[in-house]
Amino acid sequence: MTDWSGRATQREQKPWTFYIFLGLVMAVSALTLLLRGPTHDFGDSWWSEGVSALAEGLFVASILGFTVDRLLKSILVREIAKLALTTIFGANAPQEYISNLQLELESVRAITTSAQWTIYLEWEEKPRTLKVTCDNESIGRNISSVEAEPRSPWLISSTEGAPQGYFEEYRYRVSSPVPGLRIEKSHSVDYNRDQLAKIGKPHGDGRIELPAAKLGITALPPGAASVLFMRGTSFQNVPGSFPLIFGRICLEGKIRVRGPALPDLRVEVFLGIEKLEEMSESASGRSNDGEGESEGWPKEHTFRTGFTYPGATVRVAWSPAISPLERAGRLRGERAWWRRRSAVRLGDPPRRHPGIA
């Protein structure tokens, strides 16, 4: 990472150095003018007149440097900024830009104020794949004066040869105010795995979709708030990845990766092509539930996204923590250690390589 602290300090100190230099010039010029006065006559030589003229010029220039120069720069910056803002966002902006901006703002009806994904990774032995369970919790709101259409969730397909993925749970609740009354209407749905298996619509590419109409979800009324929780499971290869797609504008997102398979994996999270940095334990606000500590695997990895546009994709990627060659070497070393340990227990001297004394 780039350290900007040193550069910022230099930028802050540079003006003070400049003004100290101007002060010294002003002081020298003023002293020269005083010595040139009637009580300190240096004569009418050419160098005396030259020094006097130079001192007057430096004195006036230093005063201008302290006052007018700084004022002119501030005025110039303000005028340029005003012109830029007027040209881009004001009446001077291109009509095509204004029309596109208006359409984009009119199309925003509902937003997601916060979203959190919890990815739970564990090994599936038959076949040897990674079982990926994803929990999605989000809070949304309709900020427009018209209804917002519901969205149909879908689950990524499992890898070839692995069991088919499935939805385990889906809960959705909508609360909308009643105009003129201090009450609100609410509507909620709650489905388990067996019910979702009948609602799910498989596609040719292997993904499973839950149609909003079959879920009983209607349009989100103006000013209404929604709370969503859903859980789905699929089976993936290693290395592999799991996509998380933003359907609406999201103000803040959080991704947590946990599970007993973490010691064997190196986890990275990308927003588009940008790699997200893992949050520290204090900043992520992890719960001190002790999960994973007794089993010996890390508790979790936490990542965060800021303001995100619709259609943006977060990709949770994983790969082996060590290379296949390193893993094979470790297995050979462990087997040799167990053989030597067994030989010692039986009272036989451990076998040594002929080339080792």
**Domain spans, the chain:** 5-89, 108-321, 322-357
What distance in Å separates the CA atoms of residue 108 and residue 146, rounded to the nearest whole number? 10
Gap between the Cα atoms of 307 and 345, Å rounded? 63
- The pTM score is 0.61
Asked if 54 contacts 47 with a C-beta cutoff of 8 angstroms, the reply is no
pLDDT at 354: 41
What pLDDT does 352 receive?
A: 45
Q: What are phi and psi of 347, to 5 degrees?
A: 90, 5
Q: Give the span between the Cα atoms of 106 and 124, in whole angstroms.
A: 47
| Fold exhibited by the domain 108-321 | Immunoglobulin-like (2.60.40)
Six token digits for residue 297: 């695997």
Residue 356: what pLDDT? 40
**Residue range 238-285, pLDDT digits in tens:** 999 999 999 898 999 999 999 999 988 999 999 988 999 998 765 555
Low-confidence ranges of the chain (pLDDT < 50): 1-14, 39-40, 42, 287-290, 292-297, 350-357
